[in-house]
Amino acid sequence: MMGIKVGIIGAGSISEMHFESYKNNEEVSIYSVCDLNEERAKAKAEKYGAEKYFTNYHELLAVPEIDAVSICTWNNTHAEIAIAALNAGKHVLVEKPLCKTVEEAHAIEKAVQESDGKTLQVGFVRRFGTNTQVLKSFIDSGDLGEIYYAKASCIRALGNPGGWFADKERSGGGPLIDLGVHVIDMCWYLMGKPKVKSVSGNTYNKLGNRSHIENKSFYKAADYDPSQNSVEDMANAIIRFENGASLMVDVSFTLHAKEESIAVNVFGDKGGAEIEPKLEIITEKNNTILNSTPQIDALSFDFSKGFQNEINHFVSCVQGETETISPVQDGVEIMKILAGVYESSEKGEEIRFD
């Protein structure tokens, strides 16, 4: 198949990365845009030369020319829109997190199975960063041996974006589902996607959104309202896998921390690696420990390149050239982990998966 037509549903902040990456892909034409906010849909349609724009996604899905859609809406709409798109015969790239609950994740998985070979790719964009891809090639060739431990941390001292992000009904949760999803997935993917055995987690609602803080700016969603916040401000967890490996994670929107930080590491029996903030590979040779820094353009996540790689890969899948490296089953497994952390925290005990 030559030349595919795409529709983009949700024309907010992150959609810009989708629009730009589709624009740069010669196989693609951007055919339609949809957003509840008509002005936003119209502005993007004009900017990217789309033929049509809508405020109701069902109308976009009814356009027969469209082969594939990107879903860039609030998390509470991902399941509903992804299922409707698959039923309408479209290929789907859905932003992370796949959805809000494990039940929804299974419903999407079922729709993919019944879709007659349509691709659903989950937007785990960090998998497509150069640093992750380079490290994956070292892991695949055995340089780190068996990975038995990983550690992921993504801390904001002050950074609850407010708006829908802070509304549990629309987001499904706070920093765990928004930031944790990325760093947990990076580790899990590099660990070889082991099956999760149990999760023990804690979430805290101690500091609120701290909208009283002065003289320090932070990113705010378009519809920021300081009086609204129903999500956790930090979460931590230990995740056990069936192969004996474990993953420790902590994430926050706000915490009495000295500064913002991201640190993601994996450890194997032959070597280890730091992926963020800067790729570095730690090995042993001639009785000496080596810290090796690859000579690559970006040692930390390169945002535009990551999205371009993600979209190019999705387009190849839609054209039947390859199968997605980020399929619905991975979205389901990550959803189990995220929901497990919330459930464990609520019950005050470990959650086991059989």
Ligand X SMILES: NC(=O)c1ccc[n+]([C@@H]2O[C@H](COP(=O)([O-])OP(=O)(O)OC[C@H]3O[C@@H](n4cnc5c(N)ncnc54)[C@H](O)[C@@H]3O)[C@@H](O)[C@H]2O)c1
Half-sphere exposure of 322 (CA within 13 A, CB side): 10
User: Stretches 13-21, 226-234, 241-249, 258-266: which one binds ligand X (CB under 6 A)?
Assistant: 13-21
10 makes contact with ligand X (CB under 6 A): yes
Shortest distance (Å) from residue 97 CB to ligand X: 6
Among the listed residues 140, 120, 262, 240, the one whose alpha carbon sits nearest the alpha carbon of residue 189: 140
Residues 6+ apart with CB under 8 A from 13: none
Residue with tokens 């789309």: 50
Please give the residues from 58 up to 117 whose contact with ligand X meets the rule CB under 6 A.
Answer: 72-75, 77, 95-96
40 makes contact with ligand X (CB under 6 A): yes
Tell me the DSSP string of 203-259: EE-SSTT-TT--S------TT--TT---S-SEEEEEEEETTS-EEEEEEESB-S-SS
162 makes contact with ligand X (CB under 6 A): no
User: Stretches 7-15, 196-204, 256-264, 346-354: which one binds ligand X (CB under 6 A)?
Assistant: 7-15
State the number of binding residues for ligand X (CB under 6 A). 24
The amino acid occupying position 103 is E
251 makes contact with ligand X (CB under 6 A): no
**CB–CB of 176/342 below 8 Å?**
yes
**What are residue 248's DSSP bridge partners?**
151, 238
User: Stretches 35-43, 152-160, 204-212, 339-347: which one binds ligand X (CB under 6 A)?
Assistant: 35-43
The closest residue (CB) to ligand X is: 12
Q: Which is nearer to ligand X, 188 or 241 (CB)?
A: 188
User: Stretches 29-37, 42-50, 62-70, 317-325: which one binds ligand X (CB under 6 A)?
Assistant: 29-37
Return the residue of 19, 33, 84, 123 that touches ligand X, per CB under 6 A: 123
**CB–CB of 350/198 below 8 Å?**
yes
Residues 6+ apart with CB under 8 A from 54: 32, 33, 34, 41, 60
43 makes contact with ligand X (CB under 6 A): no
Shortest distance (Å) from residue 77 CB to ligand X: 4
**CB–CB of 123/97 below 8 Å?**
no
174 makes contact with ligand X (CB under 6 A): no
Q: Which is nearer to ligand X, 54 or 138 (CB)?
A: 54
176 makes contact with ligand X (CB under 6 A): no
**CB–CB of 77/95 below 8 Å?**
no
**CB–CB of 354/158 below 8 Å?**
no
User: Stretches 5-13, 111-119, 204-212, 294-302: which one binds ligand X (CB under 6 A)?
Assistant: 5-13
Please give the residues from 279 up to 338 whose contact with ligand X meets the rule CB under 6 A.
Answer: none
The region that residue 224 occupies, defined by phi over 0 for left and psi between -120 and 50 for alpha, beta otherwise, is beta
Chain residues that interact with ligand X, rule: CB under 6 A: 9-15, 34-37, 40, 57, 72-75, 77, 95-96, 123, 125, 164, 221
